[in-house]
């Protein structure tokens, strides 16, 4: 029997705990746990991106969650290894649950085996070259018509440029930025953006701050196109494909900024077409 599509992340987590998506999570363990602090600032810019990650390894898969600076202490990495994924899926701390769910679903639904996913290798190169290639791939998932209002929840400046290049009106939203690179004001209240947007582009970090469910709910109610670029929850977001999420750029760990060698991203679309046939 086919597993019903989840409505919320909590629904998906409960289904995993019931065994509806594959192996018993109580039998799987986080063999490795990592807490990573990283920043990026490209030459000639004054924007510094600060990222904090919790990463769990279970068997052959990794689960990742980007979080706010003070959301978890770095000692978490020493605490979590050895615990079962079932235990971590019940942890009171949201980033721990997200990383565990991501690791579990990466095992249950490997990107390379999903018919709706098209793998694309980011090229060997500098951080800027690889970031541009990644953002161009994400922009390729967008179906923006001139004059369309596009909410960008989690600001990445090349995506601001991509929206405008396609004739869209960018509505940027972010907790940590006040202005985009071109000076556009960034709002902190996503409800203002969701109320106006004809399409929404969101980062997977919405999973770790708890806003993902609300964004998907609005997308379903209003029929708003929702594209998610996911390092956080790269295996979680595709479970919502066609049920609030229109397309996903899924980037599992190790993330592009941690390597100069070719690494894959997996592009999903909810149009029913096998992405490998469309490539």
pLDDT of residue 199: 95
Q: What is the pLDDT along the chain (279 residues), one digit of tens a residue?
A: 457 789 999 999 999 999 999 999 999 999 999 999 999 888 887 778 889 999 999 999 999 999 988 899 999 999 999 999 999 999 999 999 999 999 999 999 999 999 999 999 999 998 888 888 888 888 889 888 999 999 999 988 888 888 998 899 999 999 888 888 888 899 999 999 999 999 999 999 999 999 999 999 999 999 999 999 999 999 999 999 999 999 999 999 989 888 899 999 999 998 743 333 333
The domains located in the chain, with CATH, are: 9-110 (3.30.390), 112-278 (3.40.50.11590)
pLDDT of residue 2: 59
pLDDT of residue 61: 96
Cβ atoms of 236 and 10 within 8 Å: the answer is no
Threshold 0.85, pTM exceeds: yes
List the one residue out of 221, 175, 161 whose CA is nearest residue 197: 221
């Amino acid at each position: 029997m086919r597993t019903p599509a989840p409505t919320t992340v909590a629904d998906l987590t409960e289904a995993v705990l019931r065994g509806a998506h594959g192996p018993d999570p109580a039998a799987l363990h986080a063999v490795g746990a990592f807490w990573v602090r990283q920043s990026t600032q490209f030459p000639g810019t004054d924007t510094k991106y600060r990222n904090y990650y919790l990463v769990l390894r279970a068997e052959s898969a990794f689960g990742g969650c980007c979080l706010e600076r003070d959301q978890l202490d770095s000692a978490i990495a020493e605490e979590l290894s050895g615990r079962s994924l079932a235990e971590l899926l019940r942890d009171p701390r949201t980033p721990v649950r997200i990383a565990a769910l991501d690791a579990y679903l990466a095992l249950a639904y490997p990107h390379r085996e999903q018919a709706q996913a098209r793998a694309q290798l980011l090229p060997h190169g500098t951080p800027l070259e690889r970031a541009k290639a990644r953002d161009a791939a994400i922009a390729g998932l967008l179906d923006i018509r001139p004059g369309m209002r596009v909410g960008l929840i989690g600001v990445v400046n090349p995506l601001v440029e991509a929206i405008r290049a396609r004739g869209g009106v960018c509505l940027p939203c972010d907790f940590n930025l006040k202005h985009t690179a071109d000076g556009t004001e960034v709002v902190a209240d996503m409800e203002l953006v969701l109320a106006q947007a004809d399409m929404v582009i969101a980062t997977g970090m919405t999973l770790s701050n708890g806003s993902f469910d609300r964004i998907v709910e609005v997308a379903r109610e209003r029929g708003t196109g929702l594209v998610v670029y996911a390092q956080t929850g790269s295996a979680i977001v595709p479970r919502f494909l066609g049920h609030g999420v229109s397309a996903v750029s899924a980037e599992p760990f190790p993330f592009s900024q941690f390597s100069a060698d070719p690494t894959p991203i997996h592009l999903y679309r909810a149009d029913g077409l096998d992405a490998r046939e469309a490539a």
